[in-house]
Amino acid sequence: MTTTPPGYVVPAPNADTREFWEGCKAHQFRVQRCQNCGTFRHYPRPACHQCASFDTEWVDIGGGGVVYSFTIARHPFHPAFRDKTPYAILVVEMDDAPGVRMASNMVDCPVDDVRIGMPVEVVWEDLSDEVTLYKFRPLNR
Ligand code: ZN
């Protein structure tokens, strides 16, 4: 068993988010879909924001999307990010889950090359046996 590297800020799964983070450990992007009206949602929460139903299923939506918005972090907001700036923070509209937008960092791409509408795909960063983070990289379509 490995442990999370020191200095990392890691998620703390709860009853609502545990399935999402377990999916990340399995390298699957799992989001909730309402079983009453079919609406996808993320962040994880107990009820549908469209119809208020509690009937929910988890589905793997794949890892493709396009950059909906982004910003460049040039100053670290936490000491763990001191040697990682500048980096791009993306909001990605997911291809296979209409209405779902995921936020994370871009990797394998100079920050000045990031553009709205850019196709991206998820990459997994296994920090330890307990924690896997998701990030995005450019996809050449
Ligand atoms: Zn619904």
Token pair in block for residue 53: 């139903």
Q: 58-91: b or e for each residue (b if 16 or more CB lie within 10 Å)?
A: eeebebbbbbeebeeeeeeeeeebeeeeebbebe
Mean pLDDT check: name the lowest of 4-18, 19-33, 81-95: 4-18
pLDDT digits (tens, 9 = 90+) for 100-136: 999 999 999 999 999 999 999 999 999 888 899 999 9
Which position has the higher pLDDT, 7 or 33? 33
Structure tokens at 50: 């469209």
Distance 47 CA to ligand 1 centre (A): 8
If you measure from the C-alpha of residue 54 to the centroid of ligand 1, how many angstroms do you get, rounded to a whole number? Answer: 8
**Residue 42 Cα to ligand 1 middle (Å):** 13
What is the spatial distance between Cα 130 and Cα 1, in angstroms, rounded to a whole number?
Answer: 9
Looking up tokens 């291809």, which residue turns up? 95
One-letter identity of residue 136: F
Q: Say yes or no to pLDDT of 54 above 50.
A: yes
Beta strands in 35-116 (DSSP E): 40-41, 56-60, 64-73, 87-94, 101-105
**Does the pLDDT value for residue 1 go beyond 50?**
no
pTM comes to 0.89
* Distance of CA 30 from the midpoint of ligand 1 (Å): 17
34 Cα–ligand 1 center, Å: 5
Q: For residue 61, how far is its CA from the centre of ligand 1 (angstroms)?
A: 17
Percent of the chain with pLDDT strictly greater than 90: 79
Ranges 3-12, 90-99, 111-120: which has the least confidence: 3-12
Rounded to an integer, what distance in angstroms lies between the CA atom of residue 31 and that of residue 20? 7
- How far does the centroid of ligand 1 lie from the alpha carbon of residue 125, in Å? 32
